[in-house]
Amino acid sequence: MNLAPYVEFAKKAFSREATYRIEVLMEIGSLVLRVYILRALWTALYAQNAAPTNLPLHSMITYATIAMLMSLILEVDGTRLIREKIREGTIATDLMKPISVPLYFFSDGFGQTLLHALLVIPSLLCALLLVHIDVAPPATFAAFFLAFIIGYGVNFFLNFLMNCIAFWTLETFAAQLIVRWVSDLLSGQVIPLTLFPGILGRIVFALPFAAIYSTPLLIYVGVIPPEQWAASILAQLLWLVLFAVLSSLVWRAASNRVIVQGG
């Protein structure tokens, strides 16, 4: 397959995002502030309660800070283009082109992600001035990175599926918001899933959301030890494959029932 168009899509999305410079700077600023608040919050919580055995305060702050930096990348929803284009009817012109439209959405999202990924570096440096975070050893970091990439894929397909609902309902905002909240909580972005008690903990670990934030983060802070890396990453991969298959089925059904609004 010829990848040239998709490389172009990603480049264009990157430069399009880069035109909103003020927004970009604001994002870094707000991120630094949020990291600082998180540190204060967890410090206060830990002062009042007994620390969980496998997650001391410094690990918790590391976890929260890195989760925040990851959200910089993972909250970019490239596939929101789907519902915008369905609403405006411009998806018709994309479907008339000799391209894979889902891959177009992926590469557009990826281009946006790359710009936001570049922001992670200055944000991280600023954050380090305010809070101390643990630096993982290279092997752990590599495992974290691999898990993060797979989580990125799972996140993409989850967003893709949500936005594809627009093919049936034309408007998906409410459904999207609910899934976003649920996924923020159940993915381990807000609090580590290890803090969920008993049966609830077992359930949240069995859900696909855990593959997005929880697995890479728990690898990073050492809650998932090296001997369990393979199993955790394999579980992520299973979700990835499942979501990919589901997405392709949904896309096939969706593109057979395109209603282009207007005209």
Partner 1 sequence: MAVDDVSFALEPGELVGYIGPNGAGKSTTIKMLTGILVPTSGEVRVAGLVPWKQRKENGRNIGVIFGQRSQLYWDLPLVESFELLRAIYGVPRDQYRRNLDEFVQILDMGSFLRTPVRQLSLGQRMRGDFAAALLHSPKIVYLDEPTIGLDVVAKEAIREFIARINAERGATIVLTTHDLADVERLCRRIVLIDNGTLIYDGDIDRIKSEYGRFRTLVVRFCEPVERPHLDGAAVAEVEGPIARFRFDRNLQRADLLVRQASERYRVEDVSLEEPDLESIIRRIYVEGYGGRSKEDAS
Asked if residue 99 binds partner 1 (CB under 8 A), the reply is yes
Listed ranges 11-19, 63-71, 76-84, 111-119: which one lies at the site for partner 1 (CB under 8 A): 11-19
Which of the residues 76 through 95 are near partner 1 (CB under 8 A)?
89-90, 92-93, 95
Phi, psi of 59, rounded to the nearest 5 degrees: -65, -40
Which of the residues 18 through 37 are near partner 1 (CB under 8 A)?
19
| Residue 37, number of CB atoms within 10 A of its CB | 11
Cα-Cα-Cα-Cα dihedral sign, residues 244, 245, 246, 252: positive
Distance (Å, rounded) from C-alpha 119 to C-alpha 18?
11
Collapse the DSSP code of 50 into the 3-class scheme (helix H, G, I; strand E, B; otherwise coil) and give the result: coil
Q: Quote the Cα angle for 144-145-148, to 5°.
A: 85
Q: Least Å distance between CB 176 and partner 1?
A: 23
Q: Least Å distance between CB 123 and partner 1?
A: 25
Locate 209 and state its tokens.
């959301």
Locate 103 and state its tokens.
């891959």
Locate 26 and state its tokens.
């604001």
Q: Are 72 and 213 in contact (CB under 8 A)?
A: no
Q: Are 229 and 219 in contact (CB under 8 A)?
A: yes
Collapse the DSSP code of 225 into the 3-class scheme (helix H, G, I; strand E, B; otherwise coil) and give the result: coil
Q: Which of 47, 96, 129, 199 binds partner 1 (CB under 8 A)?
A: 96
Specify the residue, 98 or 197, whose C-beta has the smaller distance to partner 1: 98
Asked if residue 248 binds partner 1 (CB under 8 A), the reply is no
Specify the residue, 95 or 238, whose C-beta has the smaller distance to partner 1: 95
Locate 256 and state its tokens.
């057979």
Q: Least Å distance between CB 90 and partner 1?
A: 6
Q: Which of 16, 40, 170, 182 binds partner 1 (CB under 8 A)?
A: 16
Listed ranges 7-15, 60-68, 112-120, 126-134: which one lies at the site for partner 1 (CB under 8 A): 7-15
Total of chain residues touching partner 1, rule CB under 8 A: 26
Specify the residue, 88 or 171, whose C-beta has the smaller distance to partner 1: 88
Listed ranges 33-41, 49-57, 202-210, 252-260: which one lies at the site for partner 1 (CB under 8 A): 252-260
Q: Among 53, 66, 48, which residue's Cα sits nearest to residue 131?
A: 66
Residues that bind partner 1 (CB under 8 A): 2, 4-5, 7-9, 12, 15-16, 19, 89-90, 92-93, 95-100, 256-258, 260, 262-263
